[in-house]
Structure 1
Amino acid sequence: MTHDGTERSFTGPLAGLRVVEVGSIGPGPYCAMLLADLGADVIRVDRAQGAALVGPNADFRTEVLHRGRRSVAVDLKHPRGHEVVLDLVASADALIEGFRPGVAERLGIGPDVCLAANSRLVYGRMTGYGQDGPLAQAVGHDINYIAQSGVLALVGRQGQPPTPPLSLVGDFGGGGAVLALGLLAAVWEAGRSGRGQVVDAAMVDGSALLAAAFHGFVSAGTWRTERGTNIVDSGAPFYDAYETADGRWLAVGALEPHFYADLLDVLGLDAAALPDRDDHTRWPELAKVFADTIRERTREEWVTRAAGRGCISPVLDVQEAWVHPHNVARGTFVDVAGVTQPAPQPRFSRTTAVVDGPPPVPGEHTREALAAWGIDPDVVRDWERDGAIRLADQPAPVPTQEGSLSDEAP
């Protein structure tokens, strides 16, 4: 059942894939969200007490990274807590955990015991620095991991400090997305070999991979190591953002000659009167001309002048992006229980991926999810009586129908 009592449907291309997610924050949940978005049946094992939220969020119902799965609340420090995970693992295709190396083993849910329970299991491990190496036991955040991989040093303007690119590169791109790819690759292989394995995903390694092209440029000597002096790092005046007359911003992307010619035409500038675009020493002069020119008109005036050309785009804020006609036509964003969020991606012509309701409250589906995965009801009652599992702290704050787990919550 979903939060409103309707049958949960797994309609995406990963329908039939079963994943156990041991609750964490950041990249692990993002990985699980990607899989759940595409139809995987993901059970999130939340802490019995003190389950964590990401960033400034204070409501599990609006925690977008938790969408698309059911939650069971388990006390992994209880003498029987590991039994819950191992019983789920027995019929799972994959597991996701984000502990520091060795913690899962101490809790009794490490890869050896899980693979003993299910030899075809793919055991996904998400850490900052990996399972081995001098920094394996170090703690950190996205900014620390992308600093270690060399990515952070590449991001920012000339003469300015490195600029953190949100938490996109370490947590989500180099972390969760790379782990999701690794899990699916290993599940594919297990389908042929009949053998599971451990997938070691580290945010340092994954963020380095995201920057593969730039590591290659530096190695080949074609990339200036001084930040903000190259073609796509804010160094080139024809690949940057400029303020408009109304205090908004315009994105200019005119790398190729034909795009550059279009840009000059839109701006009303004569190439013959401008510094040579290929002379890096004169880029600051060219940037000033562009900045002064673009500041003469509003953002929408420039967008109108550039219609049909690919050299200029408005810099939309998040709320503008939600309602832009193109994004609306594509269904890029969806509203789920009053929370606007990106729709599952990519698109599939037959096996449509959907978000079927808001994220769960920890423990909201404890009985339902365990039953759906074939766990003996008597065993579930024993766990509940012993305190190894619990139900949600409170009913879900939405109307319920007969049969929904919210009716059973204390």
Structure 2
Amino acid sequence: MTAYLQDIRVIDFSIMLPGPYCSMLLGDLGAEVIKIEQPPDGDPARIMIPGYFESLNRNKKSLTLDLKSVPGKEIFCQLIRSADILLEGFRGGVLKRLGFGYDQLLQINPRIVFCSIAGYGQDSPWASRPGHDINYQGVAGVLSLSGAPDGPPDYTIGVAAADLTASLFALSSIIAALFHREKTGKGNCIEVAIADVAVSLMSNRIGEFFARGKPSKSQQMGRAAAGVFETKDGKYITLAAAEEHFWKRLCQVLDLKELSQDQRFSSTLNRSKYRKEINERLAEVFRTREQKEWSNILEKADLPWGPVNTIEDLPNDPYISSRQLVLPQEHPSLGNIWQVAFPVKFLSEQPEIKHPAPSLGQHNREILNSLGYRDEDMAIFKEEKII
């Protein structure tokens, strides 16, 4: 069993992606995670695409609880007293309206580390505004860097980058707050605004803009010998050979003397001016062999390249499998499913997937019994739709 966060109890009052991803990682690191779900349906992610909920909620216990009811509030108070971390993921002010703002939480448990993940924070002018990843990327300027150089912004990244990065900022901030608590004995209040996190992703691009005085799109968009290229078998590879030594090596390996000897292409900056011409020539060459052949050639040449894997490719990819990143897991209702392992390697014990995502309310009895409630109490709670 992973012991990095052993004996740390997390109350996870979040849904969908940002909060659940953060609490899942805390669970991977050994914390006890109790997921609070609103009866009768629980986290809306449960009824989305099969596998979505399961991919974000392993290593957790599920407790259904109506926080609008008086008994539900009493149960929640008891959980807060025994908790180290409370994580919530709703619009600004939701938990406060339920009677559990940070001031109230401190009265219940002065050592609690309270972390809120919300689109626009708790107290900003937009705190009550709904939002999704595309909205946060838009307001932060991230979307302005997407799409073709002469085209409109294009939300095609394929993963919710702002949401997921917010989860990681929340995780690191929670760990920092726990460390601080060890020194001071005091809890903390952490506010993670997803839009703010998206702005932080722009750090180097903002610096570049104010240094150059003009915007640019994707960092790869303006570079020659950098991009995605189709191979003979209809698959794709990535290439990023912008640096001088990589450029010379690429021309040698591909036998492109006409490019290496052309004075127009004598520097990285010069080549960027002729990016379209160079990349079109490279595209012609890469369409002459299959992806596997290029894999052997480019690997031997020590060039910065890689395959464009599909999700189906991942379990059998040599690199992915060697790192044990995508692993099979037996799920009681879905059968064999795939899980992405904790991606950081530790020298000692590795974070592990101990058990699959729970069914709705699976741990009601276990948790309520531990708080002193009897089966008769739970029957009443069930009848009154409190759990």
TM-score of the two chains, using structure 2 as the length reference:
0.90
Aligned to 1:204: 195
Tell me which of 249, 254, 260 is aligned to 2:236.
249
Aligned to 1:171: 163
- The amino acid across from 2:239 in the alignment is V
What is the CA deviation profile of residues 19-74 of structure 1, one whole-angstrom value per residue up to 9, with x for unaligned ones? 10013111011111111111111110111112234398344796210111111111
Is 1:227 matched up with 2:217? yes
Aligned to 1:358: 356
| CA shift for structure 1 position 333 | 1.1
Aligned to 1:97: 88
| CA shift for structure 1 position 384 | 4.8
Aligned to 1:283: 275
Moved more, 87-96 or 152-161: 152-161
| Structural mapping, 1:343-354, within 5 Å | 343-354=341-352
Tell me which of 289, 292, 307 is aligned to 2:299.
307
| Structural mapping, 1:37-76, within 5 Å | 37-54=28-45, 57-59=48-50, 63-76=54-67
Tell me which of 306, 312, 317 is aligned to 1:319.
312
Aligned to 1:340: 338
| CA shift for structure 1 position 129 | 0.7
Query: Residue 128 of structure 1 contacts residue 139 of structure 1 at CA under 8 Å; is this kept in 2?
Result: yes
Is 1:385 matched up with 2:380? yes
Q: 3-state SS of the aligned residue for 1:192?
A: helix
Q: Report the Cα distance in structure 2 between the residues aligned to 1:90 and 1:274, rounded to whole angstroms.
A: 71
Aligned to 2:175: 184
Aligned to 1:375: 371
Corresponding residue pairs, total: 374
Q: Report the Cα distance in structure 2 between the residues aligned to 1:389 and 1:369, rounded to whole angstroms.
A: 17
| CA shift for structure 1 position 254 | 1.5
| Closer/same/farther in 2, CA of residues 195 and 340 from structure 1, 3 Å limit | same
Query: Residue 128 of structure 1 contacts residue 145 of structure 1 at CA under 8 Å; is this kept in 2?
Result: yes
The runs of 4+ residues in structure 1 deviating greater than 6 Å are 388-391
| Closer/same/farther in 2, CA of residues 332 and 141 from structure 1, 3 Å limit | same
Aligned to 1:193: 184
Tell me which of 306, 309, 328 is aligned to 2:321.
328
Instruction: Select the structure with the greater relative contact order (CA < 8 A; seq sep ≥ 6).
Output: 1
Q: Report the Cα distance in structure 2 between the residues aligned to 1:179 and 1:389, rounded to whole angstroms.
A: 32
- The amino acid across from 2:215 in the alignment is T
Aligned to 2:261: 272
| CA shift for structure 1 position 306 | 1.3
Is 1:34 matched up with 2:25? yes
What is the CA deviation profile of residues 331-376 of structure 1, one whole-angstrom value per residue up to 9, with x for unaligned ones? 11111111112111211122321112221112011122344xx411
TM-score of the two chains, using structure 1 as the length reference:
0.85
Q: Report the Cα distance in structure 2 between the residues aligned to 1:283 and 1:104, rounded to whole angstroms.
A: 52
Aligned to 1:296: 288
RMSD (CA atoms): 2.2
Query: Residue 80 of structure 1 contacts residue 383 of structure 1 at CA under 8 Å; is this kept in 2?
Result: no
Query: Residue 13 of structure 2 contacts residue 35 of structure 2 at CA under 8 Å; is this kept in 1?
Result: yes
Q: Report the Cα distance in structure 2 between the residues aligned to 1:184 and 1:307, rounded to whole angstroms.
A: 39
| CA shift for structure 1 position 381 | 4.9
- The amino acid across from 2:261 in the alignment is A
The structure that is helix-richer by fraction is: 2
| Closer/same/farther in 2, CA of residues 16 and 288 from structure 1, 3 Å limit | same
Query: Residue 12 of structure 1 contacts residue 39 of structure 1 at CA under 8 Å; is this kept in 2?
Result: yes
